[in-house]
Amino acid sequence: MKKILLIVFAILVAAGLVTFMVVKQQSGYTKVMTAKLNKHDLSTVVSGTGQIKPKTFAVLGATAMGRITHLYVKEGDHVKKGQVVAEVENVAQEAQVSGQQAAIAAAKTDISSYIAAEKTAQANVEHAQADLEQKKLDWDRAQGLYKAGILAKQDYDAKKAAYDLDVASLAQAVAQVNQAKANTESQRGHLGTQVATLRSYQNALNLTEATAPFDGVVTDEPVREGETVVQGIQNTNGSTFMTVADMSVVTAEVKVDETDIVNVKIGQEADVTVDAIPNKVFKGHVTLVGDQALLRSTGVATSQSTTGTEEAKDFKVVITLDYLTDDLRPGLSTTAKIMTAHKANVLALPIQALTIKPEDTKAVKSGNVEAATADSFGNKAPDQQGVFVLRKDEHGKLRVKFVPVTTGITGATDIEVLTGLQEGDEIVTGPYKTLRGLKDNALVKRDTAAPPVLTTSGSGAS
């Protein structure tokens, strides 16, 4: 029994010595998580939420008052340009058109009769001209005979009277031709008026029909056959037949936060996901960036808002999808990720590794606190960002060195390094509390046996 106690005691003493040596060996060291820098692709992404909308759509409103007699399509149907999609009662309009068409037919008949009268009058003129030529020959011959004393005065006067009568008859026939032509032109004028009236009646009849303005899909139909519609403001009850959308070009209209909108430009690529179509990404590109700020609570433009309340604002961004499927419907909720920047094979570090330059402890200890925080003009010195890089001292011990860095584009978890570091540098990445309290030239010990190599893609939303 005594021997067993001695063995246990020896084991406890040995364990205590080992623990003491380990603690002593690690005293003065700070355990840190590290990583080696590597190059990879990096993207900056801006996110926005909204809904699917067709680029072109039309709300077909009522253009004539009446009861709906026919709805030829229903919601979801495909329609062709010019296709009649709805009709309201049109008895009065059809009667007006029919009556006017009959009046025009009668007017055309009258014109035909006037043209026939013109031809008759023209024939009378030609007959009068021929008769006058004959009478002129008789008159000329009578004049010669009378001068020669061969023709009696009575016969001479008869020939002259016959000639004068034919001259008057020709003038009368010409006047009748002119009168017939005038009558024809007058009737043609009346026909023109009647044709114009017919166009007016035909237009009134056409207004009782709604036609598709382009090839598309019926996306909304708020009325039913038998209901009465009236002309009015679009989208009010009883004034709209349906909405037709051209789904050949579909967009995602999303709202982007005001802090990100400055980075969004027309032409940038975007990935669009639709809540109703999971596991599918639609490629697209930005085609419109709104210049009006929208209040997030109401969606009203700030220029139209009458309140002075400060609140978060968004901007409208329209993304045109590059390819479509039949599953897409207007109004589906969507999320868009817009790639505002992308660089391939760049040096990047984890965002959490960035820290602010440690306080100048020498200046603080000497009482010259302002020397560490302000320049000679009293202006506060800007914070200097950087990272802690692992370096071995002359004794082979690991220490950290604060290295200022300049950065470029930012991804979801990484940020581009422009200056200050090189590929393969080992930097401190955490833990957070340790990193924020770490001092320059401090002794450190890796928290892992071998530092991991950064291989993340660097893409993400800002």
Q: What is the pLDDT of residue 374?
A: 52
CA 211/CA 386 separation, integer angstroms: 66
Phi, psi of 178 (to 5 degrees): -60, -40
CA 169/CA 126 separation, integer angstroms: 11
Q: What is the pLDDT of residue 356?
A: 85
Q: What is the CA radius of gyration of the chain?
A: 50
Taking a C-beta distance cutoff of 8 angstroms, is the pair 50, 330 a contact?
no
> Could you tell me which of 331, 286, 249 has the C-alpha nearest to residue 46?
286
Domain ranges of the chain: 29-43+346-446, 47-57+246-342, 92-206
Q: What is the pLDDT of residue 365?
A: 40
Whether the model clears a pTM of 0.75, i.e. scores above it, the answer is no
Q: What is the pLDDT of residue 20?
A: 39
Hey, is 246 helix, strand or coil?
strand
Q: What is the pLDDT of residue 376?
A: 52
CA 225/CA 234 separation, integer angstroms: 19
Structure tokens at 421: 């570091």
Largest CA distance in the chain: 198
Q: What is the pLDDT of residue 357?
A: 78
Q: What is the pLDDT of residue 139?
A: 83
CATH number listed for the domain at residues 29-43+346-446: 2.40.420.20
Q: What is the pLDDT of residue 312?
A: 82
CA 146/CA 429 separation, integer angstroms: 143
Hey, is 309 helix, strand or coil?
coil
Per-residue pLDDT tens over the stretch 127-163: 888 888 888 888 888 888 888 888 888 888 888 888 8
Domain 47-57+246-342: top CATH class? mainly beta
CATH fold for the domain made of 92-206: Helix Hairpins (1.10.287)
Length of the chain: 462
Quickly tell me which residue has 């009647």 as its tokens. Answer: 194
Per-residue pLDDT tens over the stretch 319-353: 999 988 888 888 899 999 999 988 899 999 999 99
Spell out, as residue ranges, where the chain has pLDDT lower than 50: 17-27, 360-373, 450-451, 456-459, 461-462
List Cα–Cα distances, 409 to 128, 153, 269, 379, in angstroms.
103, 127, 17, 29
3-state helix, strand, coil in the chain (%, to 5): 35, 35, 30
Q: What is the pLDDT of residue 22?
A: 39
**How many degrees, rounded to 5, is the angle at CA 427 between CA 421 and CA 428?**
145
